[in-house]
Structure formats: structure tokens, C-alpha cells
Amino acid sequence: MGFLKIPGLGRVHYHEYGSGDKPMLAFHGYGMTGRQFHVLKDSILTKYHVYGFDHFFHGESALEGWTEKQILEGMPKTMVKHYLQEWFKVYGEQKISLMAYSIGAKLALILLEEFPEWIEEIILMAPDGLSVYKGFDFLTNKPIGRYFFRIATKSKWLTPSLLKTLKRWRFIDDSLYNIAYNEIDTEKKRLDVYYTLNLIRRLQPDTGKIIKLIDQYSIKCTIIFGKDDKLFPKSAAQSFTDQLTKAEIHEVQLGHWLVVPALDEYLLDLSE
């Protein structure tokens, strides 16, 4: 494990694991850390040496010198490229692979967009960033949604009530409800959600450009969706996946909570 000093951002903590020799930069989902992918021990981790980054407001990564106003304005997309630039300073310029789950996919996709010549493979699981998720867009980009999000963050009862309403309207299922509820039961956790989603709200990959780059640079692309995922389902990304000519698209019998031992078994079976 170690830290990268990202110009204009702060100290980004990363975990190292995996018995393979191919370097892979990995970006986890909300509420996890860069260690999230350790469960893929028999499939991914036998082939790759993973550098799993903690998001800000997660693990040991820390913004430095940022005011709340700056956080709410969002991290400029151009800053994402510094992750790989700083990693190269430590480990040298070389071909790498990328792996990401859920909101972490935005960072991986932007790195592919910025450095296609260095990317050998990308593996995305229940990815955010392939389409605009209306719920997050409302809460972080629409004036009334941003106001409501701030009020809900300060309230002990409003956020749980909102989750119950979303569950009742079937915007989220039982598993997503349980995951989300465990992330908003204290004021600090609610603030971490609030700051995280606002910090990444401007990180929207250029999917049209990415489709062309994947073909142009022959980047191996694997995208995995959960059949019961209500947050980032396969159907929401279909306009993107339909334009990929050589990608492997999988839909497994899981929900949004995708990075689990069952996925390790599935990926292992694919490689045999």
C-alpha cells in the first residue's frame, strides 16, 4: 500500500494485492475501499497485481485544502488524469489495465479517455458513467434536488424516509435499501454521501469518444451487469454497449451488490 500526491486534490491512498504480474488500477464503489476486489482471488487476482485506490471520503484518502464550497462545485474532470500521471512517476510508464465497480467506473472511463495508448484492458462491473442516472443527477445538478439533498443530509429522519419512499416506488430493491440505510445512520455517514456524490458530479465520461478509442486501440473490454440491479442495469447502458464491436457483455444472476465470491466463480468459469 502507499499514497499518491495528486496535484490540486490531496493524498490518495492505494492498496496492493494480487499474485499476477500485470498492473491493474482499480476503483471501488460507494462505501467500500480499494480492497473491495480482494474477493476476486481465483479469477482476476491470479493474473493481475492490483492497485486499488480509496475514493475521497473513503479509507485513508484525504482532500487537502478544499473548502466545502469547492467540494459542492465538484472535482474538475481534468484532474482525473493525475491519478495515472502520478502512478507513472512511481512505477514508470507501462501498459496497464483498469477495473472498476459502480461509481468507480467514472474514473476508470475517464482514464481510458485520457490515456488510451496505455490501456490494455478494462473491466467494468455495474458501471456508473455509461448513461446519466437520473436520481444522482437530480440530487447533485438540479437546484431543487441540491437543496433537498443538503436538507436531507442534516436531518436524522428525512433521509431514511426518502429511502423508504424510493423502495416503495421500486426505484431501489431490498438489497440497495439495506446498503443505503447502513450508510446514512449517522451524521458523518450522511455527510460522506453528500460530499462524495457532489465531488464526482462533474465526472461524466465522453462515451462516444470512448467507444471509438476502444476500437482504435483494440482495448479488451468486459462489462458485467447484475440481472437484478435497479441502480445501473444493463438496459440503461444499452445505447453504449450496442456500439461496441468486440466487447464481452455479461449479465449475471446478482443485483447491484456485484463484487462477491459468486462473481469470482463466474469469472473463473469464463477463463477455463
Angstrom distance (rounded) from CA 172 to CA 167:
5
DSSP per residue, 107-146: HHHHHHHH-GGGEEEEEEES-SSSS--HHHHHHHHSHHHH
Domain 2-132+204-271 belongs in CATH node 3.40.50.1370:
no
- Classify residue 165 by burial, with Cβ atoms within 10 Å: 0-12, 13-18, 19+: exposed
Is residue 130 within 8 A of residue 207, CB to CB? The reply is yes
Name the E strands within 28-131. 48-53, 62-63, 96-101, 119-125
Flag residues of the chain having pLDDT under 70: 157-158, 162-163, 166-167, 169-173, 175-177, 179-184, 272
Q: Say if residues 259 and 39 touch (Cβ distance below 8 Å).
A: yes
- Cα dist from 150 to 73, 124, 159, 188, whole Å: 13, 30, 10, 13
The C-alpha atoms of residue 105 and residue 217 are separated, in whole angstroms, by 19
- What is the C-alpha to C-alpha distance for residues 170 and 114, in angstroms, rounded to an integer? 37
Mean pLDDT (the chain) is 91
Bridge partners of residue 100, in order along the sequence? 27, 124
pLDDT, residue 181, reads 67
Q: What is the pLDDT of residues 159-174, one digit of tens each?
A: 777 667 766 766 666 7
**Domain spans, the chain:** 2-132+204-271, 134-197
- The residue written with cell numbers 449479465 in the block is 251
- Predicted confidence (pLDDT) per residue in 228-265, tens digit: 998 899 999 999 999 999 899 999 999 988 999 999 99
Return the residue matching grid coordinates 460507494: 30
- Distance from C-alpha of 198 to C-alpha of 188, rounded to nearest angstrom: 15
